[in-house]
Structure 1
């Protein structure tokens, strides 16, 4: 049982949110009946939290050294990636939490109480016209509950928020007639409950994602049992009138004055509804409106500042899928040996299965994961050669049961990342697999490892404790031990230099569990001096078999 949330546990909460929203996405989309046929609240919430988690995983270590700093990165990532009213509201809730906890290294119960209250207040203020019975009502109920909770224990404060949110969600049909008529609770409020459930799960050590997946599966089975087929209630984007056919969103920078945001909000209220104009407190704003005049909504933004990332969605384009044994068309499954690499993949929407036992018993667990995706087409990306055989065995069994499964062998985690980066579910399944396979094959791989024993390599003998630099599986340099920071830096820069001798525009670096923080800074300085045209992306990979894994594209 946690007594405080440090930076690592805040990250675990973000991961749990993404996993739980992924499990609940379809169910949340399906109950969104207020009031325009669209049904993407669950998808919007998931996209927003994935953007927040992705921002955190891409941030340098110094930017997420404390709980407060980690929450600040999450909040800004959610704001820049917010989708729909629900995404905007969540981004403002996270902003309030981050602002309240900006000065803390670890979050105790009393500070969590204050953070939930501040977050709910900002979330409610994000909407020009808050509506009772929606997700802001559920957030306000959680804030009231933590304020009334007499205990200062972290577990009790988290439990109060989760319990009150669930109770408030059950009451939403009594507050909105359209919910009562449809016999459903509010979709955005359901998402809020998922987020607080995930927080409680992290605090208590419960497997939130597993429980969420089981609950979503049970709900889907209940709908099928009750109606003969799964319900397809495709509905609105959280609030508004069906008089407006489009949703317009954009980020706004370089706002022209202190009153510009307020004026922009007034203009948008005059041309549509579901208006929100909210900022991060540092000059970046997210704008959202439902309207018919797209040009007027964008022009209003131009008058107020500099719009970017403009997105327009037409509600009538939403289409229901035929009920079948498959709940979705496409999925990507990746086995992972480290939680850090798993988190990175989860932020990209990938289904991850941890390799916790021996490879011999792994095929059955991988098969269970493939089946549980409920996807008609599944691509499996084993991150090292040892896992390919297990992936092949699992795919054969899944194909025999009616799923289309393809294994794309990858020799390194960086090749998996390259494949995931080009994955596009809008392409034909076959074309998508080809694109991923080509991206993986085109990524050259390197490693920096510490020799565990004396050996003979292609370039000479090495002793235990020496630092080895490898490219595409072959030793290309040896730095005499001990494996201190200087030796690791020389080996890393040497491998990158030789790999870039064949060309390259992007270097991806995965820091191992034992890698010193200085390693990333040294690589950055080296590339700035020697290859300023090359981009460097650094992630925490958490691998134990290599201090550093490199990819060049």
Structure 2
């Protein structure tokens, strides 16, 4: 059913636009994934754009839900700010991060103009929409460390250029932007050798054309016709006429960084400026978007831990995602999307430090923030990102057993072989990962990893929030609790002393290796104290210490 034409762009039109854009990206997702060859041929640009916009739509719908079923509706300013914020916090991959900045740039102009005119104004006119599209293109280009022509940045700039030459209402401006974007998209293979070799247009630009087409429909009520030389929405049209995918001229792919690292970051502008410089030296495909204290950071690096540590130094990183590109990656050179690797590990981790540790060991990670366990859909998405035929899933939390089982079942319906190892703590996951050997048969690898995890007793040291009954007696708020396998075993007033008693109790049953994962909440001396205790009292036992960052508990302990 056709949409009602909008002479002005108001809150309802923005809501309609977001919904139409999500539908358009959903329909084009597989096509866009299939033509994704730059900057990394990992076949996920369409999916990343869809997930990013889905987060924006969720935020917009939440704003409207706050107004109930009455006749009133949120302001345009509130709506576009919600759209931009939702895209920022949900941005996935290089393409999704740039889309988030495009939406943020538009929202800045639209919201400022709406604030200036007030609620009495019917909405935003074509003049303001032109300025919004220009701000979007400029801010997205500024967020990319090393802009490349023939990408979504080129398509966005062309859309803004075309809009600036259009006179009329929002529908007229939106249509001009769409047509300019389509023409620029068709020309991308002539600007980027990787696209020409593969016989495709730019995947990110293709996604932006879908989003702008939805804007035309929201403003005019009509679905725009495909422009000559641009994709119309079906897969074959995304390829350059007469071109066939081809390998690199030398028959090989250029090497590139091994990891994609993404996180949200709470930090001041000055700290982010320093962070950009440091990350630019560590890797490539650097995109940092956001502002007002909240940023989304995306980079490809070989040292995932260093990228996370740089974020910790700049501010507070969270929702950290580290993806190992695996064998056969193509970062440049324009080959078709890479083949799936044979096997990968997906792990839920409680802190930034462990995210870096697991990532460096080759695992795809999902960060579980305190009080915010990942949903099954997030685990399924992580399994997809691992891009493997076989996946070992480590939930690292007893409470995530059913969630992980649901995710594994969903992934199996998509043809991925998934083995769920019921790890109940991150230290059990570390033990499993230590014996992981992708060259073994899948079943044998799973058995060895399961055995290593099961042979690792786990404990954690936490601070009681209130008075309660425990298996070790009554505790008061502020008491330090030592839990073994989830049950309170020790209660004490001091964290270091309680941790020592807890470790002694665990080592009475024997052990060869103690693993300590120290959180930011723990005293700086606790690791050294416990290492000394093990060295003096348990001569045959080794100790390894990891920094867990903001992991929700001061200390995790594993004994193998």
TM-score of the superposition, structure 1-length normalised?
Answer: 0.53
SS class of match (1:259):
helix
Verify: 1:167 aligned to 2:172, yes or no.
no
**Cα separation, partners in 2 of 1:25 and 1:425, compared to 1, 3 Å:** farther
Verify: 1:426 aligned to 2:410, yes or no.
yes
CA contact (8 A) 2:41 2:338 kept: no
Q: CA deviation at 1:248?
A: 0.2
Verify: 1:261 aligned to 2:277, yes or no.
no
SS class of match (2:326):
helix
Q: CA deviation at 1:296?
A: 0.4
Q: CA deviation at 1:232?
A: 9.4
Q: Distance in 1 between matches of 2:324 and 2:148?
A: 23
5+ long unaligned stretches in structure 2: 330-336, 341-376, 379-402, 415-560
Q: CA deviation at 1:35?
A: 4.6
Q: CA deviation at 1:316?
A: 2.5
CA contact (8 A) 1:72 1:98 kept: yes
Verify: 1:293 aligned to 2:303, yes or no.
yes
Q: CA deviation at 1:215?
A: 4.7
**Cα separation, partners in 2 of 1:226 and 1:100, compared to 1, 3 Å:** closer
Q: CA deviation at 1:321?
A: 8.6
CA contact (8 A) 1:202 1:208 kept: no
Q: CA deviation at 1:31?
A: 1.0
**Cα separation, partners in 2 of 1:93 and 1:143, compared to 1, 3 Å:** same
The aligned residue for residue 282 of structure 2 is 271
The aligned residue for residue 153 of structure 1 is 169
Q: CA deviation at 1:241?
A: 6.7
Q: Distance in 2 between matches of 1:195 and 1:72?
A: 18
The aligned residue for residue 87 of structure 1 is 96
Q: CA deviation at 1:233?
A: 9.6
Verify: 1:205 aligned to 2:210, yes or no.
no
**Cα separation, partners in 2 of 1:209 and 1:144, compared to 1, 3 Å:** closer
**Cα separation, partners in 2 of 1:189 and 1:210, compared to 1, 3 Å:** closer
**Cα separation, partners in 2 of 1:233 and 1:30, compared to 1, 3 Å:** farther
5+ long unaligned stretches in structure 1: 323-347, 350-418, 431-553
Q: CA deviation at 1:30?
A: 1.0
Verify: 1:2 aligned to 2:6, yes or no.
yes
SS class of match (1:101):
helix
Q: Map Cα deviations across residues 487-517 of structure 1 (whole Å, 9 max, x no partner).
A: xxxxxxxxxxxxxxxxxxxxxxxxxxxxxxx
CA contact (8 A) 1:22 1:46 kept: yes
Equivalent runs, 1:190-339 vs 2, <5 Å: 190-207=206-223, 215-217=232-234, 219=236, 242-253=255-266, 255=267, 257-279=268-290, 281-316=291-326
The aligned residue for residue 365 of structure 1 is none
Verify: 1:119 aligned to 2:136, yes or no.
yes
The aligned residue for residue 535 of structure 1 is none
Q: 2:148 aligns with which of 131, 134, 144?
A: 131
SS class of match (1:8):
helix
Q: Distance in 1 between matches of 2:280 and 2:176?
A: 36
Q: Map Cα deviations across residues 174-233 of structure 1 (whole Å, 9 max, x no partner).
A: 11111112211111111111111111112221357999xx9544638x98x999xxx999
CA contact (8 A) 1:250 1:286 kept: yes
The aligned residue for residue 521 of structure 2 is none
Equivalent runs, 1:473-492 vs 2, <5 Å: none
Equivalent runs, 1:530-545 vs 2, <5 Å: none
Q: Distance in 1 between matches of 2:161 and 2:132?
A: 12
Q: Distance in 2 between matches of 1:162 and 1:189?
A: 11
Q: Map Cα deviations across residues 298-352 of structure 1 (whole Å, 9 max, x no partner).
A: 0000000011000011222788799xxxxxxxxxxxxxxxxxxxxxxxxx99xxx
**Cα separation, partners in 2 of 1:90 and 1:35, compared to 1, 3 Å:** closer
SS class of match (1:316):
coil
Q: Distance in 1 between matches of 2:50 and 2:61?
A: 16
The aligned residue for residue 109 of structure 1 is 126
CA contact (8 A) 2:260 2:298 kept: yes
Q: Map Cα deviations across residues 50-103 of structure 1 (whole Å, 9 max, x no partner).
A: 011112222353596122221110100000000111111111111111110114
SS class of match (1:170):
helix
RMSD: 3.6
CA contact (8 A) 1:3 1:155 kept: yes
Larger Rg: 2
Equivalent runs, 1:459-478 vs 2, <5 Å: none
Q: CA deviation at 1:112?
A: 0.8
Equivalent runs, 1:380-391 vs 2, <5 Å: none
Q: CA deviation at 1:168?
A: 0.6
CA contact (8 A) 1:44 1:83 kept: yes
Count of residue pairs the alignment pairs up: 321
Q: Distance in 2 between matches of 1:425 and 1:208?
A: 40
CA contact (8 A) 1:32 1:234 kept: no
**Cα separation, partners in 2 of 1:192 and 1:170, compared to 1, 3 Å:** same
